[in-house]
Amino acid sequence: MGRTAWGLLAFGFGLLMLRPSHAEAVILINEVLADPPAVGGDANGDGVISPTQDEFVELFNTGTAQMSLAGWTLWDATGLRRTLAADAAISGQGFFVVFGGLGLNNDGDTVSLFNETGILQDRLAYGPEGGMDASLTRFPDGEGSFTRHTFVSTQPFSPGASAAAAPPSHPMPEPCSLVLLGLGGAASLFRRTASTF
């Protein structure tokens, strides 16, 4: 093997060694409900639909190990909204939901997550799409872009669960699939007709 090949191999191995392990966690804002729907909007499950107490911010742990969230803070555009308790923790590949009293604006706001030392971990800025009776959710969890929850599920929100866990009950086939289905059906009719002669 030539000197250049060994150099490239060593460089590639070095890059692999620098990559964070799966156990290293990144905590992200995964879902935000600023505007609980007036019908079916009991996001916190207490039996009462409340425009303030059913608001929530869902966090997602991209790592595989449990992490403490003690002292982490959630802010909106105007200031501190919540400091997480000393016993707050999030499991690996798990969710943590903060309900109520967040003061999120339906027509636009910024939600920021800071760790216990005050370092920004994640931020979501949204506009009027936050006031459409559905949450804004990352899809897929922990890595995708934010979209309206009703675009990926029949439910308006899914605190503490994956949006993918609640797929549309009657998924619409892609237009291409409908065309292929139609062509397949036409072909089978043609074969039946042709075989009867």
Distance CA 64, CA 29 (A): 17
Q: Give Cβ neighbours of residue 159 (< 8 Å, ≥ 6 apart).
A: 31, 33, 43, 44, 56, 58, 95, 97, 99
The two three-digit tokens of residue 149, written as one number: 């929850």
Output the pLDDT for position 79: 96
Give the position of tokens 């409340």: 50
In this predicted model, which residue has the larger pLDDT, 12 or 106? Answer: 106
Residue 15 has pLDDT above 50, yes or no: no
Output the pLDDT for position 166: 53
Grade residue 4 by pLDDT with cuts at 50, 70 and 90: low
Going by the DSSP 8-state scheme, the letter that residue 117 receives in this structure is: T
Q: Give Cβ neighbours of residue 137 (< 8 Å, ≥ 6 apart).
A: 30, 31, 32, 58, 146, 147, 148, 149, 152, 157, 158, 163
Residue 12 has pLDDT above 80, yes or no: no
Where are any strands of DSSP class E within 15-155? 27-33, 56-61, 67-68, 73-76, 79-83, 89-90, 95-99, 109-114, 120-126, 136-139, 145-148
Output the pLDDT for position 187: 46
Q: What is the pLDDT of residues 66-88, one digit of tens each?
A: 999 999 999 999 999 999 999 99
How much is the mean pLDDT over the chain?
81
Q: Tell me how long the chain is.
A: 197
Q: What is the pLDDT of residues 139-197, one digit of tens each?
A: 999 988 999 999 999 999 999 999 887 544 334 444 444 444 444 544 444 444 444 43
Query: What domains sit in the chain, N to C, each tagged with a CATH number?
Result: 23-165 (2.60.40)
Output the pLDDT for position 6: 46
Window from 19-23, 40-44, 85-89, 141-145 with minimum mean pLDDT: 19-23
